[in-house]
Structure formats: structure tokens, C-alpha cells
Amino acid sequence: MLNNSSKTRAELKAHCESLSGVHLRGLFSDDPGRAKRLSLSFGGLYYDFSKQRLTSETLRLLAALAEESGVGDAIRRMFAGERINPSEDRPALHVALRRSSGPFPDAGFNVMPEVAATRERMAALAGQLRGGGHDTPHIRDVVNIGIGGSDLGPKMMTYAMRSIAHPTLRVHYVSNLDGAQLAPLLQTLDPRTTLFIVVSKTFTTQETLINAQTARDWLVSNLGDAAVIQDSFAAVSSNVEKAVEFGIAPERIFPIWDWVGGRFSLWSAVGLALMIAIGPRAFDEMLRGAERMDEHFRTTPFEQNLPVVMALIGVWNTNFLGAATSAVLPYNESLRYFPPFLQQLEMESNGKSTGIDGRRLDEPASPVVWGELGNNGQHAFFQFLHQGGRLTPCDFIVAARSDYPLPNHHEALLSNCFAQSAALAFGRTEDETRASMEMLDPDRVRELLPHRMFSGNQPSSTLLLSALTPENLGALIALYEHKTFVQGRLWGINSFDQWGVELGKSLAGRILPAVREPERALALDASTQELLAFSRHYLL
Ligand code: F6P
């Protein structure tokens, strides 16, 4: 972490020790105003962090740590378009993608004309497809072929907003190199009414190219004419040359720029399939929600600044309380794909142990981010959260209004979500546990008591959305993007590069020829040779 020897950090350590014997039960009973004070709201979002193991004093000290670590300056530099990604020598301008007016970052280097022109082209294609326009054949299925940031964000948002999606146009996402994802999908599609969108910033990603080639072969073998590719494909890429080489018509290629990282790109043409699903107007509302969050982030003092507070709480849990993981537990079915999206956002950004200056960090940065739909998790791994004995901070996320009108489902869902965070925080004391077993005989009570007690004191926050509107969802994603950036700054790392994904890719390139040709395996390590030898027996 930055300033490992700073006075504030030492104060925080001492403060942390002073809280070591304190239980969330005590913090709540000693302070009736706690829930109101340790919560923030912004638009349709309400963030309750009163069940974290901290006090107002903790927050004050953490905000001082943020000041000292240069978080304010980092925010200013990002919005000024400075090259805050030094290892790739780029700015990080994803906030430009949701701007509604004015030049950005400044008149000298204004990316807005290109951004606006791309948004218009996206809206024109989305409008045509949604309205079944004259110059486009009637498309019934849209298949987004991409992986990582070219898949997770748009897929997550498409699912999150499926209640407002076009009623007959189906949007699918294919990412996995395993043909077991694409092959069964192709069996359900009609080649005459399917549009493939190949989304790859680099247009060199193996998974995406192999899936795209298979889709192209399928089209040609069904329609018998290579020319159909021009009508059946679109692309989103910064590598126009490669996309054209693949056979995509230049007017069907949408740009993406080097100043936006894949995991921050759903607001760009990377979100084309999403826009086709929900329509240009809802897409725009999503951008407005994100833009409002950007403004809040840029201008609000740290202790009331939602992304900053969220980042500070994460750092408190990781670096002071010693949590190794952080769980995200959405309760709405429509947020099913939020955990994998967040895993890429946080762990590809901050899963690092080298500082921005190239020096090794004293401690690794990001915790493990994991999660699942909360209600399903209750019947699977929540046992571990309640009694597993490991500190596991959780983010509960739920919308107060259901996106499908079945109130009895939603009332029960909300009560489960709120019950779990209360159970984790407050646990069940010995007396309460005894009282819950008053019908049993005393020997059985003695036997069961240790198994049925809950120590509590598990920290969590609850992020409550008024509803899963495009605007709230835009704000939610921008919130987590900025949280990730602030944490990167606090840990002293560059959140915008991802060198750690490279080694495996280049090794896969070396191993591929050896999959079929044993003599090519000789230069590989012994374990890989054995794995290949076994695999060769079964390869088709
Ligand atoms: O391998 C990681 C990564 O580069 C991600 O950062 C990115 O989102 C993903 O692959 C896809 O990259 P592309 O859009 O260039 O195909």
C-alpha cells in the first residue's frame, strides 16, 4: 500500500486494534443513530455500510488516508485525460463514453465527436434491427462473439434489463473457446435471420476469432455464398484492418479506442448488442446514470463520496482487518451475471503485486472477489459465511422494486436479503440459542448448543436500488468502476493494465502444435508432456 509508514496508517492500525474486541451488536446498541449515519444515498441508490466493523472515526481516518495517498489528484488526472496508465502509455477515458455534452477531456484532445458519431451509428443499426427496417433483412437473433470485457459487461446488462428488452429479437453471447457453447446455439439459429457481432478490441483474441470463424463457416455452408458475410456480420474493434480481412464490410465496423480498457468498455460500441436488446433510449438512460455517478465521484468530499467510501471500506477489510476475499451477493435474478463482471473489473484491474512505479508491493493488492446470486447461495455456501470462522466481507445488492410483477416473490426475496446481513452481523447468542430450543430436553440442548450458535460480527454492506432501471444500473456499474480505480490508487498500482494475462496466452500458442504432434511436445515441461500424452488418446 502507498505510504506504508505514514502517520495516518499508523493511527489506523492503532484504531483497528482498539476495535478488536468490539462486536457489531455493541456498536449498534451503543449508538442508535448508527444506521442513519453510516449510510449514503445517491439518486436511486442507497448504500448501508453500518454493518461494517467500523465507526465514524474509522471513516474519518480512512478519508485522511485517501487524501494522503493522492486519491483527489488521481481523480483530477483521470478527468483531465492525463496518461494515468503509464505501462501502456495511455489515458483512461471511459468516462467520455457517457458524457452528454461538451468537449472531453479538453478542446485540444477532444474525443467527443468520435464518441457521438459512434453512438449515432449504433442507434441507427439498433433502430433498424428493432424496427425490422427495409435495408436490413429481418433479423431475429443477434449473437455477440467476444470474451472478457467484450462479453461480460454487455451480457450482464442485457440480462439485467431483460424485462424491457425487445420482445422478439433474441440476443445471445458466446465467449468460450469450447465449441460446446457455440455449437448448440447454432442448431437453434436460422442463418438467414441471424446477425453476428464480433467484438474484439484487438481482433487478435484466439477465443473470439475461432468462434467467429466457426460462425462464418456455418453461414457459408448453409447459405452457400461467401458474400452473405457482409450482411450477416458486424464488428466492434480498433483493428479495422483485421476485421476487414475477416470479411466484415467497413461500414459495419464500429470503432473502439485504445484509451478505453476492455473491462470499462460496455458504454461504447462494445455495448452494441445490449443497445439492440434494450433500445437506444434505454441505453442512453444507462449512460445518464453513469454520468451522474461520474459527477458525484468527481465533486463530492470523500466521506460522502459513494465510490470513495466503498473503496475505503474494502481497503479497511483487506488491509486492516485481514480479509482475503470479498463476496458479492446480488439477490435479483436479473443481476445473475454481476459477480463474473465484477471479478474481471476488480481482479483484472487490481490483482497485482507490483506498484505503478515498478516496485514490489509490501502486500498484494486485490482480495479474491467471488459471489453468486444471494438467495441461491443461502442454500449452498452461506453455511460457510455464518459459521465457517473466516472473515468474509459481503456486498448484498438488491432492488426494492421487482422487475417482474410478482409481489409475493419479491417481498420474500427482500426479507431474505435483509435477514442474512442481520444474521451475519448480530449472530445468535447463547441465551438466544437456548431460547430457540426450549421445546427440547436439557441434554439435547447442551449437545446442540455449540452447533446452533452464531458468533456474528461478519461485516457486510447492502446496496439497495430503487429498481433495476437503466439509469440505476448505469450508476451502479460506474460506482464499482470508480471504487476499483480508487482502490488501485490506495494500493499504489496501475488499475488499467493487465500484463498478467499474457504469459498463459503465449504458452498456449507454443502448446497448440504439440496437441497433435508428439515430437513438438519435447521442448515442453514434463507435466505438460504427460497431460498432452493422455489427451492425445481421446482427441477426435
Ligand atoms: O486477456 C484479457 C483481455 O485482454 C481483457 O482485458 C479483454 O477484455 C479481453 O481479453 C478481450 O480482448 P479483446 O476485446 O481484444 O478481444
Please, which residues have CB within 8 angstroms of residue 513's CB and are 6 or more apart in sequence?
520
Return the residue whose CA atom lies nearest to atom 9 of ligand 1: 148
Return the residue whose CA atom lies nearest to atom 1 of ligand 1: 501
Element (H, E) at 399: strand 394-399
Grouping H, G, I as helix, E, B as strand and the rest as coil, residue 461 is strand
Report the C-alpha gap between 227 and 79 in whole angstroms: 44
**pLDDT, mean over the chain:** 96
Report the C-alpha gap between 419 and 112 in whole angstroms: 46
pTM: 0.97
| Confidence (pLDDT) at 136 | 55
Instruction: Report the relative pairing of strands 194-199 and 170-174 from DSSP bridges.
Output: unpaired
Q: Which residues participate in catalysis according to the annotation?
A: 348, 379, 505
| Confidence (pLDDT) at 2 | 66
Share of the chain above pLDDT 90, in %: 94
* Confidence category of residue 227, pLDDT binned at 50, 70, 90: confident
Q: pLDDT per residue over 258-311, tens digit each?
A: 999 999 999 999 999 999 999 999 999 999 999 999 999 999 999 999 999 999
148 Cα to the center of ligand 1, angstroms: 5
Q: pLDDT per residue over 75-105, tens digit each?
A: 999 999 999 999 999 999 999 999 999 999 9
506 Cα to the center of ligand 1, angstroms: 14
> Lowest-pLDDT range, 4-13, 162-171, 185-194, 501-510?
4-13
Report the C-alpha gap between 121 and 92 in whole angstroms: 23
Residue pair 247/226 in contact (Cβ under 8 Å)? The answer is yes
Return the residue whose CA atom lies nearest to atom 16 of ligand 1: 200
Please, which residues have CB within 8 angstroms of residue 282's CB and are 6 or more apart in sequence?
161, 164, 470
| Confidence (pLDDT) at 132 | 62
Average pLDDT estimate for 245-263: 96
Task: Say whether pLDDT at 135 is over 70.
Answer: no
**Cell triple for residue 515?**
496437441
Report the C-alpha gap between 524 and 193 in whole angstroms: 46
Q: Which amino acid is at 157?
A: M
Pocket around ligand 1 at a 6 A CB cut-off? 147-150, 200-202, 205, 208, 262-263, 348, 498, 501
Return the residue whose CA atom lies nearest to atom 6 of ligand 1: 262
Task: Say whether pLDDT at 134 is over 60.
Answer: no
Mutation to probe ligand 1, out of 87, 156, 203, 205 (largest number of atoms < 8 A from CB): 205
| Confidence (pLDDT) at 226 | 79
Write phi, then psi, for 265 (nearest 5 degrees). Answer: -105, 5
Mutation to probe ligand 1, out of 90, 144, 150 (largest number of atoms < 8 A from CB): 150
Q: pLDDT per residue over 380-395, tens digit each?
A: 999 999 999 999 999 9
Q: How far is CA 72 from the centre of its chain?
A: 24
| CA distances in angstroms from 506 to 56, 215, 450, 511, 512, listed in the order given | 49, 25, 52, 9, 10
Peptide bond into 301 cis (omega under 30): no
Q: How many CA atoms lie within 13 A of 50 on its CB side?
A: 21
Measured from the CA of 501, which atom of ligand 1 is nearest? 1
Return the residue whose CA atom lies nearest to atom 2 of ligand 1: 501
Task: Detail the DSSP E strand segments found in 309-372.
Answer: 325-330, 368-371
Residue pair 461/48 in contact (Cβ under 8 Å)? The answer is yes
Q: pLDDT per residue over 446-494, tens digit each?
A: 999 999 999 999 999 999 999 999 999 999 999 999 999 999 999 999 9
